[in-house]
Amino acid sequence: MAFYHLHIKVADVQASLEFYRQIFGFKEKVKFSDDFLFAQGETGFDLAIAQTKDQVKPLPDGVHLGFCPGTKQGLRGFREDETPVSRSLI
């Protein structure tokens, strides 16, 4: 059994897609509407991104996403990136 996708609700679908594209290399896979799409990462993992009209709240303490930069150089590049990370996009 494999982990197939993660569904997240966000305030702005396009801004969130751009964030995941820039930081993690996700590409739009299927666009169902302006408010809902699937993006796919290099490993084939899908991220379902849906807009919510509800206020986006911070995640509870301890909830986080983990990723592997691949190399120490990749991690250094990420730290030096000036792209602002907004908790509302994650």
Q: Cα–Cα–Cα angle for 25, 27, 32, nearest 5°?
A: 150
Domain boundaries, the chain: 5-80
What pLDDT is recorded for position 73? Answer: 64
Compare 82 and 26 and report the one with higher pLDDT. 26
Chosen CATH of 5-80 out of 3.10.180.10, 3.40.50.300, 3.40.50.720, 1.10.10.10: 3.10.180.10
Cβ proximity of 20 and 47 under 8 Å: yes
Of the pLDDT bands very low, low, confident and very high (cuts 50, 70, 90), residue 90 is very low
What's the pLDDT tens digit per position in 19-45? 999 888 899 999 999 999 999 998 899
Model's pTM, two decimal places?
Answer: 0.73
Compare 66 and 10 and report the one with higher pLDDT. 10
